[in-house]
Amino acid sequence: MSAPSVAEDAEFVRLNEADIPDICSLDDAHEGNGWTESQVLASMTGPGGVAYGLKVGGVPVAFALFTRVLSEAELLNFGVSVRLRRRQLASRLLRSSLRELADGGTTSVHLEVRVSNIAAQALYAGFGFEQTGRRRGYYPAEVGREDALLLTLPWLEPGLGTG
Binding segment (CB under 6 A) for ligand COA, from list 38-46, 110-118, 129-137, 139-147: 110-118
Cβ–Cβ under 8 Å, residues 150 and 112: yes
Check residue 126 for interaction with ligand COA (CB under 6 A): yes
Check residue 99 for interaction with ligand COA (CB under 6 A): no
Number of Cβ within 10 Å of residue 39's Cβ equals: 16
Nearer to ligand COA, 31 or 158 (CB): 31
Cβ–Cβ under 8 Å, residues 146 and 136: no
The identity of residue 51, as a single letter, is A
3-state secondary structure of 105: coil
Check residue 54 for interaction with ligand COA (CB under 6 A): no
Cβ–Cβ under 8 Å, residues 99 and 163: yes
Shortest distance, position 114 Cβ to ligand COA, whole Å: 7
Residues that bind ligand COA (CB under 6 A): 30, 78-80, 85-91, 111, 113, 117-120, 122-123, 126
